[in-house]
Amino acid sequence: MRRLAEIRVNDLHFHYTPGVEVLRGISLTISPGAVAIIGQNGAGKSTFVRLLNGLLKPTAGEVLVDGVSTRSTTVATMARKVGLVFQNPTDQLFKSRVLDEVMFGPLNLGLSQEEARQRAEAALERVGLTGAADHNPYDLGLAERKLVTIASVLAMETPVVILDEPTIAQDMTGVRQIGAIVTWLRDQGRTVITITHDMDFVARYFDRVLVFQDGQVLADGPAQAVFAQPDLLRRAGLEPPQITVLGRELGLPDPPLTVEAFVAQVRDMAKNGAQ
Ligand SMILES: Nc1ncnc2c1ncn2[C@@H]1O[C@H](COP(=O)(O)OP(=O)(O)O)[C@@H](O)[C@H]1O
Ligand SMILES: [Mg+2]
C-alpha cells in the first residue's frame, strides 16, 4: 500500500502583486481520491495548485501536507509528496530526449539509473508513449508533450498528483488515457487533483468537484450535487455537462452525469411506466 497524504488548507490568501489578491481565503481538506477543480480563466486555479506543492508560499494562512506547513519545507522535500504537472509543458520540459526527461525526477529522488529507467518506462507506457522514448520532446505535438510531462510526474510515484489542464489539446483517445490514469491513481488510494474545462471529463472521472470563482471556492461537493446547481455554475461562468442539462429538462429525478446514467434512468422509467 502506498503512503497516503492529507492536504489541509487554512484561510489561504495569496497575491503576486501587493493589493491584488488572487486567492481570498480558502479553507478545505483534500483526502485521497479524485478531485476536479473547475472555474473560469483567471479564477486562481493554477495559483492554488502551485501553493499546494510549495512552489508558491501563502501570503497569509497556510497549506499543510501531512501536518507539515509548505512554509517550513523545501520544494525538493515537497516534490516527494506532491507532483505537479504544469499547465504549459514548455515550463517543465528541459531535456532533449523523452526518456531522460522522465528519468530526471526518479534520479533526483536518489534512485539508481536502473530503477529510474524502469520507472520511466512504466510511466511512458501508462501514457501511451513507449514508442517515443528516444524522441526529442520538442519534436512532439502539444498533446504528446503534455503526456511526457504527465509521465515525468507519474515516475516520481508521489502520493499526490496534480494535473493542470491535462485534457487541453488531447483527442478522444488522449482524454480517455488521462481518465484511465486518474482512475488508476484513485484506485491506489492516491490523491489526484485535476484542473479542467471539460465538464464531461469531470462528470465521468471525479468524485469531488471544487468550483473556483475570483479567488474563492464557490462550491465543493460530489459532481452529482455540483452539476445539479445550474445557477451556481452560471455564476462561475460554467455549464453542466449537456447530458445533465438534457436530463433535467426532461424532468429526470436524478440529473444524470453521463450518457450511460441517462440511458439507465430512461430505461428504468420506461420499464416502470410499462408495468
Ligand atoms: N506569475 C504571475 N504574476 C502576476 N500575476 C499572475 C501570475 N500568474 C497568474 N497571475 C494572475 O493571477 C490570477 C489568477 O491566475 P491563475 O491562477 O493562472 O488562474 P487560472 O488558472 O484559474 O486561470 C490572474 O489574474 C492572473 O493574471
Ligand atoms: Mg490555469
* pLDDT reading at 1 higher than 50: no
Q: What percent of the chain has pLDDT over 90?
A: 83
Among 134, 157, 180, the domain-final residue is 157
Specify if 29 maps to a domain: yes
Q: Which residues contact 206 (CB under 8 A, 6 or more apart)?
A: 34, 35, 36, 182, 194, 223
C-alpha cell at 92: 517543465
Whether 58 and 101 share a structural domain: no
* pLDDT reading at 67 higher than 50: yes
Which one, of 176, 209, 216, 213, lies nearest residue 195 by Cα?
209
- Phi and psi at residue 162, to the nearest 5°: -115, 130
DSSP assignment, residue 6? -
Determine whether the shortest distance from the Cβ of 275 to ligand 1 is under 6 A: no
Q: What is the pLDDT of residues 74-113, one digit of tens each?
A: 988 999 999 999 999 988 898 999 999 999 999 999 999 9
Number of domains in the chain: 3
Residue 193 domain boundaries: 1-81+158-229
Specify if 236 maps to a domain: no
Determine whether the shortest distance from the Cβ of 210 to ligand 1 is under 6 A: no
At residue 274, the pLDDT reads 63
Among 110, 132, 157, the domain-final residue is 157
Q: What percent of the chain has pLDDT over 70?
A: 98
Q: What is the CATH number of the domain that holds 61?
A: 3.40.50.300
Q: What is the pLDDT of residues 112-143, one digit of tens each?
A: 999 999 999 999 999 999 999 999 999 999 99
Determine whether the shortest distance from the Cβ of 91 to ligand 1 is under 6 A: no
C-alpha cell at 49: 495548485
DSSP 131-146: GGTTS-GGGS-HHHHH
Q: What is the pLDDT of residues 227-274, one digit of tens each?
A: 989 899 999 999 888 999 899 888 888 888 899 999 998 898 888 876
Specify if 234 maps to a domain: no
Q: What is the pLDDT of residues 29-44, one digit of tens each?
A: 999 999 999 999 999 9
Helices and strands: H and E segment counts in the chain: 11, 10
7-17 and 20-30 strand pairing: antiparallel
At residue 3, the pLDDT reads 67
Mean predicted lDDT score pLDDT of the chain? 94
Q: What is the pLDDT of residues 69-79, one digit of tens each?
A: 999 999 889 99
Specify if 41 maps to a domain: yes
Which ligand has an atom closest to residue 22 CA?
1
C-alpha cell at 184: 488508476
Specify if 185 maps to a domain: yes
Lowest mean pLDDT among 45-49, 193-197, 241-245: 241-245
